[in-house]
Amino acid sequence: MRDQCLGRRQFLQTSAAVAGGAVLGCPRSLSAGPSEPTVIDEPFHGAVLNRRHGEPTDDGLKIRVRGRAPLRDRVTVNGRPARRAGGRFAAEILLGEKETDIVALSEGVSGRREHRVRVVWDRHSQPRYRFSIDDNSFFLRDVARKKYASLFDCFYLKMLKTLHEKYKARFVLNIYYTTGDGFELPQFPDRYRNEWQKNADWLKLAFHAHANEPARPYQYAAPQRLIADLDKVAEQIHRFAGEETYSPPTVIHWGMVQPAALKPLAERGVRVLSGYFRRAAVGWDVNYLLDDARSEYLSRHDALKDFDSGIVFSRVDVVCNSTPLNRIVPTLAPLAEDPNQAEIMDLFTHEQYFWPFYPNYLPDHAKRLDAALRWVTDRGYKPVFFHEGLLGGRE
Ligand SMILES: [Zn+2]
């Protein structure tokens, strides 16, 4: 149909007919410009923006909006005319609220088109880090069996306390209900409750999974099963360590849940979920089954908000057990140079690699944590918990 139209137009022009009249015979929607979409390319829907992403002013954060729209159209962004250059448009807007809708509207002969995104402003942003340790269960079994006088007679908790005293580091330990060999949380005594509470300003416990096996337990599980497991562990943490020690989960085992689980998790107090958002053979993995576009974005940004559930996703910046000691700093350093990844350091490892009986035991595991903590501390990053405020920062 398009070819036919052009053919007719060409014919009319070559036959020296009135040029203006020739266009009338061809529907305008078929010319190149108006068939293009109107799209905001930047910022990304769900982006968490801070002072590194724009210009802080007395009234808010001034940021640039960029996108594409039909060549002939007039474009406004939040009601004000945008600059055009070819098929592109650009405008500046001011973020003055926690969340801002950005609306690009293009109008032309073929009608109106609109694209709408929402962004989060991290108004009180400051460089911060969190340290999260997954797959915890052996230390609980150890304390329960050895009946230590103090929690910190367990070498693992002692090691964390030393790092806390040295760097003011805070840790959240994501725990299992059972080690899978007969030990379950109800066997953990409540006689350390006072000690847990005294240390709750830097040491928290959170649900991670029922057990280490099977892998990816919640990837295809009904949300009700995940929530039932969460509730069981939460009840035990409250019993033996007190409310002060409890943190809602910030990492679910294997970083995979059904999309329908996000709202129920948010109802249990989940505010942030960390994952790897890494490229896999097909699509992305350890990404809470987010769509490709958001997973790809998260693979190179600190954070992204899912407005449906209210949960903010965070990309893990270093996994200490899989990063050799001499690679810890070279892994973190480039992130501090990237405005999209510099503000929040999501530090991470797994408990099992601390234990000599574990087949993949790492004798230098504690040194790796020390290297990561020294690096963030020297650069002014403050220790936070992700379940508080906005990614641990003031809201
Ligand atoms: Zn895990």
* Per-residue pLDDT tens listing for the chain (395 residues): 333 333 333 333 333 333 333 333 334 444 445 578 999 999 999 999 999 999 999 999 999 999 999 999 999 999 999 999 999 999 999 999 999 999 999 999 889 999 999 999 999 999 999 999 999 999 999 999 999 999 999 999 999 999 999 999 999 999 999 999 999 999 999 999 999 999 999 999 999 999 999 999 999 999 999 999 999 999 999 999 999 999 999 999 999 999 999 999 999 999 999 999 999 999 999 999 999 999 999 999 999 999 999 999 999 999 999 999 999 999 999 999 999 999 999 999 999 999 999 999 999 999 999 999 999 999 999 999 999 999 999 99
CA of 350 to the centre of ligand 1 (A): 7
Cβ count within 10 A of residue 3: 7
Distance, in Å, from the CA atom of 297 to the CA atom of 66, rounded to the nearest integer, reads 16
Query: Within its chain, how far is the Cα of 38 from the centroid?
Result: 27
Predicted confidence at residue 35, as pLDDT, reads 72
Distance, in Å, from the CA atom of 143 to the CA atom of 149, rounded to the nearest integer, reads 9
CA of 381 to the centre of ligand 1 (A): 25
Q: Are 316 and 274 in contact (CB under 8 A)?
A: yes
What is the 3-state composition of the chain as percent helix, strand, coil, each rounded to the nearest 5?
A: 35, 30, 35
What's 30's DSSP letter? G
CA of 23 to the centre of ligand 1 (A): 64
CA of 252 to the centre of ligand 1 (A): 7
Give the strand pairing for 39-42 and 303-306.
Answer: unpaired
Q: CB burial class (10 A; 0-12, 13-18, 19+) of residue 192? A: buried
CA of 46 to the centre of ligand 1 (A): 26
Give the strand pairing for 111-121 and 99-108.
Answer: antiparallel
Lookup result for tokens 């409540």: 190
In this prediction the pTM is 0.90
Give the strand pairing for 48-49 and 111-121.
Answer: parallel
Lookup result for tokens 């000691």: 325
Within the chain, residue ranges assigned H as helices are: 2-14, 19-24, 138-146, 155-167, 193-198, 223-241, 262-267, 292-298, 328-336, 365-378
CA of 34 to the centre of ligand 1 (A): 50
CA of 214 to the centre of ligand 1 (A): 11
Which tokens go with 290? 């987010």
